[in-house]
């Protein structure tokens, strides 16, 4: 019957390098944690990474670990252990599965890299620009491991970004310096910080350029590919290695476009993915879209690691701008305009909103945006219910039927 | 058996609770149909359902030109030549009976759908309820067990109610507790049953807005026509219901079979 077939698709060649990249990233940190050769900071995914890199930290991202727990489907079994400690099943399932993983001493790093546990932090650094959950998450580890917790509190729901907001955030970032110096025991080196900013800016430019290749018709890659290849931009921004990776990936994508290569053979429909990935179901969703000749060409999620305002000449201010102008920090009007601009660039035929049960911050369907955008852009929208990591909140059958029906609807046009 | 059916087109709707088969002749006339519990073996129930519909149509398997399956178990029908989602088939089936722009509200055994069509029958949008029994046939089934009232008696009870006992909760389990509380308070059973119907209607109406013309389909209204009267009262609209509201999806699938629609598998 019409069950999607397992497909053999041309792999992105850079994926091999990516694999090694990620292995090196984790081995370096594992080694540092064991030998104490370098200090380790845990950082939120859109936290002040450049400052940490510039101050000589290795940077570990619990959200990346959450995504790995989700992708390996370990998360659903681990979440209840955190629930039992009083962390509700309704809050961020990255938080709950990661804490569950700590409590149960189980990590996907063991299977993937033969690493026993995540690296112990010397300091925990958050920015609430994405949500409050990250602060509570890190606070748990701070109590548990007796490690200092520092952070930046960002304004929320911002329309036009105002000067006072930037000044405030810039000074909050600057205030981190003495606290971090206490951890490193070394003096802050402005030149090194600027260098990290420069690298990060370049990573953003390259990563943004990679994503923009999907504007080509047919698209050379999909959202599902990008969720994998975004890893260096997330975990290694502020380093030269991250740039080297995208210097490799970008020409490969450009070549695909030149060759008219379609990531989804016979691409008939193009969609925008709004919201979190469903980590444990990336493959099966990707297969389903492939069988429906539908390419998910762009997403808010993958675009969220483009910080092109970073400027080594204005280090603190530009960091404040870059980490405040993010989609997730902004008001509804801004978000709608953002997706409208994406629509004009990527020419998609519909938008899929993922209502992630445990992440209201990335579930933009909840205040009427799908309806407003559908009317504004004249394209249909679909909301599917699920979650980033808690597969108890996901009905695969319902989601797949909804997606299939949505494509039928596009075909009736 | 004589076989004077000629060419026939079959639609099979394997829902999570019931399987429905509709047989159309080449004039799009419904000449055979059947409804059975889906049970645990979808393939088996689809086959049994097909056989009784064939019998009613006075037709044989060799008369079948094409068969399309739909519904939750659409991929478990070995004799179908294509599949379509239940959303597509309900839309197609309703448009066959009511060729106009409309909102379709389907209240099924385990899920609900609200589908909007334009004047040409093209889908403008659709929504399915979340993974929860609220507002579905399963909710009424659960309540009939709790209240020890046969499911088939509910419609008459609701119609005979003098008042209505409103229930506050979303959740089937919470509602059950609430209902038991109402009984302890001495509320009348018919008034409670009417309240249960009202609860189903509220869950469905909060899924989406309605357009001028509204069609209601699905097993719940097939067995509880009074629920339609209540929707008319609440929404201040005339509600259209096809002759066999439970068969709409199967009829739509049969129409797709005739039009050679459906994904080939
Ligand atoms: S933004 Fe959402 S997914 Fe990310 S950490 Fe916060 S609650 Fe979790």
Q: Which parts of A153-275 fold into alpha helices (H)?
A: 163-184, 190-212, 223-229, 231-235, 240-258
Residue B19 inside a domain? The answer is yes
CA angle B49, B153, B34 (to 5 degrees): 10
Asked whether residue B33 is domain-assigned, the answer is yes
Atom 5 of ligand 1, nearest CA residue? A134
Hey, which of A136, A234, A359, A360 would you mutate to test ligand 1's pocket, going by the most ligand atoms within 8 Å of its Cβ? A359
Higher pLDDT, B170 or A233: A233
Q: Tell me the CA–centroid distance for residue A44 and ligand 1, in Å.
A: 10
Name A200's Cβ contacts closer than 8 Å, sequence gap at least 6: A49, A50, A53, A237, A238, A242, A307, A310
Look at residue A183 and tell me whether its pLDDT is greater than 80. yes
What pLDDT does A10 receive? 87
Per-residue pLDDT for B2 more than 50? no
Q: Please compute the mean of the pLDDT values over residues B179-194 and round it to a whole number.
A: 92
Could you tell me the pLDDT band of residue B3, with boundaries at 50, 70 and 90? Answer: low
Q: How confident is the model at residue B130 (pLDDT cuts 50, 70, 90)?
A: low
In a domain, B3, yes or no: no
CA distance B265 to chain A (A): 4
Phi, psi of A189 (to 5 degrees): -115, 105
State the complex-level ipTM.
0.88
Q: Mean per-residue pLDDT for A202-209? A: 98
Is B123 in contact with A381 (Cβ distance < 8 A)? no
Indicate if B84 and B125 belong to the same structural domain. no
The reply to whether B32 and B110 lie within a common domain is no
One domain, residues B105 and B236: yes
Q: Which of A3, A405, A413 has the CB atom closest to B126's CB atom?
A: A405
Average pLDDT of chain A is 96
Query: pLDDT digits over B54-73, tens only?
Result: 999 999 999 999 999 999 99
What percentage of chain A reaches a pLDDT higher than 70?
98
Phi-psi region of B112 (alpha: psi -120 to 50; beta: other; left: phi over 0): beta
Q: How far is B22 from chain A (nearest CA, A)?
A: 20
The CATH code of the domain that includes B22 is 3.30.420.40
Chain A residues touching B80 at Cβ < 8 A: 1
Residues of A in Cβ contact (< 8 Å) with B75: 1-3
> If you average pLDDT over every residue of chain B, what do you get?
92
Q: Give the range of the structural domain holding residue B178, as residue numbers without chain letter.
A: 100-241
A196 Cβ closer than 6 Å to some ligand 1 atom: no
d(CA A136, CA A96): 11
Measured between CA atoms, how close is B87 to chain A, in angstroms? 6
The 3-state secondary structure of chain B, one letter per residue: CCCCCCCEEEEEEECCCEEEEEEEECCCCEEEEEEEECCCCHHHHHHHHHHHHHHHHCCCHHHEEEEEEECCCHHHCCCCCEECCHHHHHHHHHHHHCCCCEEEEEECCCCEEEEEECCCCCEEEEEECCCCCCCCHHHHHHHHHHHCCCHHHHHHHHHCCCCCCCCCCCCHHHHHHHHHHHHHCCCCHHHHHHHHHHHHHHHHHCCCCCCCCEEEECHHHHHCHHHHHHHHHHHCCCEECCCCHHHHHHHHHHHHHHCCCCECC
pLDDT band (50, 70, 90) for residue B31: very high
Give A158's DSSP letter: B
Please determine, for residue A5, whether its predicted confidence score (pLDDT) is greater than 80: no
Q: What are the residue ranges of helices labelled H in A36-92?
A: 49-54, 62-71, 75-83
CB contact under 8 A, B83 and A2: yes
Q: With 80 as the cut, is the pLDDT of residue B264 above it?
A: no
Sequence-distant (6+) residues with CB within 8 A of A257 are A213, A216, A220
The verdict on B20 and B60 lying in the same domain is yes
A404/B contact by beta carbon, under 8 A: yes
Query: Closest by alpha carbon to A49, among A191, A200, A228?
Result: A200
Q: Binning pLDDT at 50, 70 and 90, where does residue A1 land?
A: very low
What b/e readout covers A132-165, taking b as 16+ CB neighbours within 10 angstroms?
Answer: ebbbebbebbbeeeebebbbbebbeebeebeeeb
* Angstrom distance (rounded) from CA A100 to CA A84: 10
* pLDDT at residue number B5: 67
The finding on whether A362 has its CB within 6 A of some atom of ligand 1 is: yes
Chain B touched by A374 (CB under 8 Å): yes
Whether residue B85 lies inside any domain: the answer is yes
Please tell me if residue A385 touches chain B, with a CB cutoff of 8 Å: yes
Q: Is residue B154 part of a domain?
A: yes
Mean pLDDT computed over B15-39: 95
pLDDT of A7 over the 60 cut: no
Pairwise CB contact (< 8 Å): B131 & A398: yes
Q: How many CA atoms lie within 13 A of B138 on its CB side?
A: 17
pLDDT mean over A87-105: 98
Residues B213 and B131 in one domain: yes
B265 is a domain residue = no
pLDDT for res B165: 93
At A8, the pLDDT band (50, 70, 90 cuts) reads low
pLDDT at B98 over 80: yes
B188 shares its domain with B254: no
Identify whether residues B13 and B75 lie together within a single domain.
yes
Residue A131 in 3-state DSSP?
Answer: coil
Among A88-92, B49-53, B107-111, the range scoring the smallest mean pLDDT is B107-111
Q: Say if ligand 1 is within 6 A of residue A387 CB.
A: no
Shared domain check, B72 and B159: no
For B125, list phi and psi in degrees, rounded to 5. -165, 165
pLDDT for B265 equals: 45
Q: How far is A358 from chain B (nearest CA, A)?
A: 15
All structural domains of chain A: 17-412 (3.40.50.11900)
The structural domain count of chain B equals: 2
Task: Answer yes or no: is pLDDT of A141 > 60.
Answer: yes
**Res B83: pLDDT:** 96
Same domain membership, residue B107 and residue B208: yes
Chain A residues whose beta carbon lies within 8 Å of the beta carbon of residue B77: 1
B84 touching A (Cβ < 8 Å): yes
Shared domain check, B17 and B139? no
Whether B13 is in a domain gets the answer: yes
Selecting from B72, B131, B265 the residue whose C-beta is nearest the C-beta of A1 gives B265
Residues B18 and B33 in one domain: yes
Percent of chain A with pLDDT over 90: 97
pLDDT at B145 over 50: yes
CA B136 to chain centre: 10
Question: Per mean pLDDT, which range of A106-110, A374-378, B135-139, B252-256 is the poorest?
Answer: B135-139
Residue B221 placed within a domain: yes
Kindly state whether residues B203 and B252 are assigned to the same domain: no
């Amino acid at each position: 019957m019409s069950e999607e077939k397992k497909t053999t698709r041309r792999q992105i060649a850079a994926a091999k390098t990516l694999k090694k990249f990620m292995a090196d990233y984790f081995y370096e940190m594992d080694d540092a944690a064991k030998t104490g050769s370098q200090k380790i900071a845990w950082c939120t995914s859109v936290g002040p990474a450049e400052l940490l890199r510039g101050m000589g930290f290795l940077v570990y991202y619990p959200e990346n670990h959450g995504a790995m727990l989700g992708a390996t489907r370990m998360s659903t079994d681990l979440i209840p252990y955190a629930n039992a400690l009083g962390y509700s099943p309704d809050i961020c399932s990255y938080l709950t599965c990661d804490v569950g993983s700590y409590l149960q001493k189980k990590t996907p790093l063991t299977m993937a890299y033969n690493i026993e546990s995540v690296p112990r932090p010397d300091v925990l650094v958050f920015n609430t620009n994405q949500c409050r959950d990250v602060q509570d998450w890190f606070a748990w580890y701070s109590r548990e491991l007796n490690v200092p917790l520092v952070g930046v509190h960002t304004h929320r729901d911002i329309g036009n970004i105002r000067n006072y907001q930037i000044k405030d955030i810039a000074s909050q970032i600057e205030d981190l310096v003495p606290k971090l110096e206490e951890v490193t025991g070394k003096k802050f080196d402005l030149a090194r910080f600027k260098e990290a900013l420069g690298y990060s800016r370049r990573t953003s430019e390259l990563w943004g350029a990679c994503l923009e290749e999907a504007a080509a018709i047919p698209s050379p890659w999909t959202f599902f590919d990008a969720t994998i290849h975004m890893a260096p931009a997330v975990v290694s921004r502020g380093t030269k290695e991250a740039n080297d990776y995208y210097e490799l990936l970008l020409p490969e994508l450009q070549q695909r476009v030149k060759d008219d290569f379609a990531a989804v053979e016979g691409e008939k429909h193009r969609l925008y993915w709004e919201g979190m990935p469903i980590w444990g179901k990336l493959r099966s969703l990707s297969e389903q879209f492939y069988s429906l000749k539908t390419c998910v060409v762009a997403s808010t999620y993958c675009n969220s690691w483009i910080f092109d305002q970073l400027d080594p000449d204005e280090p603190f201010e530009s960091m404040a701008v870059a980490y405040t102008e993010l989609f997730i920090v902004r008001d509804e009007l801004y978000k709608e305009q953002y997706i409208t601009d994406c629509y004009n660039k990527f020419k998609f035929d519909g938008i899929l909103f993922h209502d992630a049960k445990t992440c209201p911050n990335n579930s933009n369907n909840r205040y009427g945006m799908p309806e407003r955008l559908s009317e504004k852009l004249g394209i249909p929208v679909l909301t599917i219910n699920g979650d980033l990591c808690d597969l108890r909140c996901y009905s695969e059958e319902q989601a797949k039927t909804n997606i299939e029906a949505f494509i039928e609807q596009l075909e009736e046009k | 058996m004589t076989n004077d059916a000629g060419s026939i087109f079959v639609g099979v709707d394997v829902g999570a609770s019931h399987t429905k088969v509709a047989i159309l002749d080449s004039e799009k006339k419904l000449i055979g149909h059947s409804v059975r519990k889906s049970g645990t073996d979808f393939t088996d129930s689809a086959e049994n359902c097909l056989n009784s519909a064939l019998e009613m149509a006075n037709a044989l398997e060799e008369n079948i030109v094409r068969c399309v399956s739909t519904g939750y178990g659409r991929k478990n029908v070995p004799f179908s030549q294509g599949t379509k989602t239940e959303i597509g088939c309900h839309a197609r089936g309703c448009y066959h009976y009511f060729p106009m722009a409309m909102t379709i509200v389907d209240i099924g055994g385990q899920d609900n759908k609200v589908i909007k069509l334009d004047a040409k029958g093209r889908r403008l949008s659709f929504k399915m309820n979340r993974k929860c029994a609220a507002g579905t046939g399963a909710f009424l089934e659960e309540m009939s067990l709790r209240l020890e009232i046969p499911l088939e008696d509910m419609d008459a009870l609701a119609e005979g109610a003098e008042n209505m006992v409103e229930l506050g909760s979303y959740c089937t389990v919470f509602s059950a507790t609430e209902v038991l509380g109402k009984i302890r308070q001495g509320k009348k059973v018919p008034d409670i049953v009417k309240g249960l119907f009202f609860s189903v209607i509220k869950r469905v109406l909060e899924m989406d807005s309605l357009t001028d013309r509204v069609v209601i389909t699905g097993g719940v209204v097939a067995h509880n026509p009074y629920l339609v009267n209540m929707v008319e009262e609440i929404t201040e609209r005339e509600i259209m219901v096809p002759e066999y509201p439970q068969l709409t999806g199967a009829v739509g699938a049969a129409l797709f079979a005739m039009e050679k629609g459906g994904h080939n598998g």
